[in-house]
Amino acid sequence: MNNILFMKAKTYTIGICLLLLMQMGCKKQPETVNQQLTTNEHILNFFKSEIEQSVLALDSISTLNSTSDKIEAYKSARHHFKALEPILAFVDQNNYKSLNAPNILQVLEEDATDIKIRTPFGFQVIEELLHEEPLDTLALHQVVKMTSSRLKLIQGNTAIALKDYHIIWLLRNQVVRIATTGITGFDSPVLAQSLKESQYTYKTLLYVVDVFKDEFSSEAIYNDLKSSFENAIATLNHDFESFDRFNFIKNHTDNQLKLLVQTQDDWQVTFPFEMALTNNATSLFGENTLNVSYFTDYKSDTLKLKEKAEFGKQLFNDKLLSKNKTMACASCHVSDLAFTDGRKTFDNRQTRNSPTLTYAAYQQSFFMDGRAGSLEGQVVGVAENHDEFNLPMDSLVNRVMHNSEYKTSITTLYNNDRVEYNIRHAIASYVRTLNSFDSKFDKNINGLEHSLTQEEKDGFNLFMGKAVCATCHFPPLFNGTVPPNYTDTELELLGVPENNDTINAIVSTDLGRYNFYKTKEREHFFKTPTVRNIEKTAPYMHNGVYNTLEEVVDFYNRGGGKGIGIHEEYQTLPFDSLDLSESEQASLVAFMKTLTDADFNTRNE
C-alpha cells in the first residue's frame, strides 16, 4: 500500500512542478496596455471560444425533440471539445480525463478507508445514451448538464501560461495521442468518428504552430511541420475499418516526431526535465521513445545503473533469496520464455499464471491485481509471500550480507545504509533492462526491415481498428498504461472463465483486484498485460486458461465473458461480438507473433 501511495505522490509532485513551471511563464509577458496579443492570450482566446461553442451545442441537446437532432448537436459539441483537446489535455489533465471518460463505473481506491465509486459523465457517456433504445431523456439531461457545467467551470478558471518547451510537449503529446488512441476508436465507442475527430485535433496543432510562427528561425522547418499536419489531415479522410494505421504511423506520426525534434533545436529549447515521452523521441516505436526512469523514483539511485542491474541479475537468479533455497525469481520467470514459465501456474500453491517481465517496467502498478506501486515493492510481495520465497525481508537482507561478493556489491554500488531497499532496487534495475523494442514489427515500422507480410500488416491494422484490441493494449507498449501521459495502468473485467469451456462457462473464481480492498465493484478485475512477446508466454490469461493465441482471439471475438454465457455487471469489453472472420482472426495472431523480441527468436533458432 505504501508503494501505491508513493507512486501517487510522485505523480502529484511532477504535476505540481509542471504547473509551477507553466505559471513562471506569466512573468515574461508584457504588461503594457493596448499591447498586441501574446501567444498565451491567443491560445487562451481559442481555448475559451471552443469551450463556449461546445457548451452551446451541449445545452441545445435537451431542447431538441428528435433523437437525430440531438445526435447532430452532440456531434457539434464533440467537434469543439476535440478541437480544444490538445490544450485541455495538457493544462488540465484530470478534467480532460473526466470529460472524455468511458461509460464505465469509476472506482478510486486511495486506501482502505478512502474508496470512491463515481458514475461517469462526459462525452462518451452522452454518445452511448443517445444511441440507447428507448432514449432515457432524464439520464441524458443529467449527464449533459454535468458535462456542460464542468466545461463552464474550466472556462472560467483556466489560465494559460505556456513556455516554449510546454508547446513542444503539448504538440508531441497530441501527435502520440492521435496515433495511440485517436485512430483506434478509443473514445468514440458508437459513432466511430475517431478519424474525423483526429482531423479536428490536428487543425488545432496547425493553429498552435501558426501562433508560434515567430519562434522559428528556419522557415523550412515551420513549413515542413505545417505540411506534415496538413498531409495527416488529408490521409485521415478515410473510413474507419479499412484505414491503414501502419502506414499512417510510419509516414505521418514518425515524421512529425522527427520534425518536433528539429523544431525544438530550431527554437533552442531547454527542457527542465523529461516526462514519460523522451524529449528527443523520433519514432513511436523507438527504443528511446519512452523514458523508463519516469516510471520509478528517478531522483535517486541513478548512478552506476548498469552495474546495479548486473548485481540485480545475480540476485534474480539466486535461490538464496527463498526460505528453503529452492526458488529464485528466475524459477517462475525463465529468460528463454520471455521471463514466464510456460505453465498454467508455477506449482499447485499458485493460483495465477506467471506474467512476462519484459516491458514490465513501463507500468504504474504491479502484480496482476495492481497491488504494488513499484517494481521495488513487488520484490517485497514475492519475498514475504508464504507460497513463494516465504522469507521476511530482514532475513533476506541477512543472507545477502553474509555473502561476501554480494556485500561488496552493496557497499560499493550504494552509498547509503538502506540495504533492504538497495537489494530491491538492484533487482528492479535488472527488470528495467528487459525491454529491447527490436521485434520484427519494430524493425519494419521503423524502416529497418521490409519483411512484414500483408497478413501481418492487416493484423496490426485490425488490432488498432476493427478488433479494438488497442483500446486496452495501447501501443507502443501494447499494455494497459495509457498514453501519452502514462500516469495510469488500467485494470479490466473481461469475464475470463474458470475452464476452457464455451458452453457451460463460469467466471474464474479468482476475484482479482477485489482481494486487495474488498471493493465489490472491482471483483474479477485484472491489470492489462503487454502483448509484446506473447508468442513465447503461453498459456494465457491470469489463470492460464487458454493454451493458444487462437483461443484468446476467439474469446475476444465472442465478446469476452458475455459471449460465452458469463454475465458480470461491470464487464469492460465494449462489444458483444467483434464479428471477425476466420481470416481476420488469423491475421491478428500473425501480427501478435511479430512482437517477439529478436533475442528470444535467436535463442530458438
- Could you give the CA distance from residue 127 to residue 130 in angstroms, rounded to a whole number? 5
**Which amino acid belongs to residue 185?**
G
- Residue appearing with cell numbers 510562427: 213
Q: What integer pLDDT is reported at residue 267 of this predicted model?
A: 97
CA atoms within 13 A on the CB side of 188: 23
pLDDT digits (tens, 9 = 90+) for 445-466: 999 999 999 999 999 999 999 9
Q: What integer pLDDT is reported at residue 297 of this predicted model?
A: 75
pLDDT at 288 over 90: yes
- Could you give the CA distance from residue 263 to residue 221 in angstroms, rounded to a whole number? 7
pLDDT at 351 over 80: yes
> What's 514's DSSP letter?
H
pLDDT at 9 over 50: no
Query: What proportion of the chain, given as a percentage, has pLDDT over 90?
Result: 86
Q: What integer pLDDT is reported at residue 529 of this predicted model?
A: 96
pLDDT at 108 over 90: no
Query: What proportion of the chain, given as a percentage, has pLDDT over 70?
Result: 93
In 465-527, where does DSSP find H-type helix? 514-517
- Could you give the CA distance from residue 268 to residue 430 in angstroms, rounded to a whole number? 35
- Could you give the CA distance from residue 478 to residue 524 in angstroms, rounded to a whole number? 21
pLDDT at 512 over 60: yes
Question: 3-class DSSP state for residue 424?
Answer: helix
Q: Decide if 455 contacts 587 (C-beta within 8 A).
A: yes
pLDDT at 358 over 70: yes
Question: 3-class DSSP state for residue 473?
Answer: coil
pLDDT digits (tens, 9 = 90+) for 559-571: 999 999 999 999 9
298: pLDDT confidence band, cut at 50, 70 and 90? Answer: low
Q: What integer pLDDT is reported at residue 472 of this predicted model?
A: 95
Instruction: Lowest mean pLDDT of 14-28, 250-264, 416-430, name the range.
Output: 14-28
- Could you give the CA distance from residue 88 to residue 85 in angstroms, rounded to a whole number? 5
- Residue appearing with cell numbers 464505465: 104
Q: What integer pLDDT is reported at residue 299 of this predicted model?
A: 60
pLDDT at 142 over 80: yes
